[in-house]
Amino acid sequence: MMQNFFLMCNQREINLVRRAVRQSDIPAIRNIFLTINYLGNGWIYLLAAIGIMAWYGLSAWQTLSVAILASALTHSIYPQIKQRLARLRPCDFDPSLNLSIKVMDKYSFPSGHVMTATAVGIPLGISFPELIPAILVIAILIGWARLALGHHYPSDLVAGVLLGALIALPLGIVLT
């Protein structure tokens, strides 16, 4: 039943993915998306933690701990969701999409990159509201890079935001 639902969604969303992938045909833009994707694999969070600790000092450790906990919890459940739902990635649904880098796992729903950006961003935004614009820009860029590289559909991104928020929002409210 879910496979039929995803097939219908894939057919509706693939043209948007194709347009996004075509935008990344320009080498300079593709390199930007590849860099954002690489940073979204985890490096951006290490760099952000270092910057936040440098700016806010040791008092930021509690918030960073909540962000780490939210990320760990989301990552403990999302692989099972991906395996169970087994949605093909756009690059597998439409092999003509130019896959420039290897995907981290087989299925696309939900987006782990966007889920992580949300799970980390919410506690940071609650504790440091002045960072919300930067958090939003980073999350949007990570999501757009995943779309433009042909790894995700828009609904994968939305599901990643929802899953990340479902875990991080209660933790951020209670623990920060």
Query: CB under 8 Å to 91, separation ≥6 — which residues?
Result: 97, 99, 103, 150, 151
Q: Measured between alpha carbons, how far is 23 from 4 in angstroms, rounded to an integer?
A: 29
Q: Measured between alpha carbons, how far is 114 from 135 in angstroms, rounded to an integer?
A: 12
**Domain residue spans of the chain:** 27-175
Q: How does pLDDT run across 104-125, given as a tens digit for each residue?
A: 778 889 999 999 999 999 999 9
Pick the closest to residue 101 from 35, 15, 17, 13 (CA basis).
35
pTM for the model? 0.88
Q: How does pLDDT run across 37-72, given as a tens digit for each residue?
A: 888 888 999 999 999 999 999 889 999 999 999 999
Write down the pLDDT at residue 100. Answer: 67
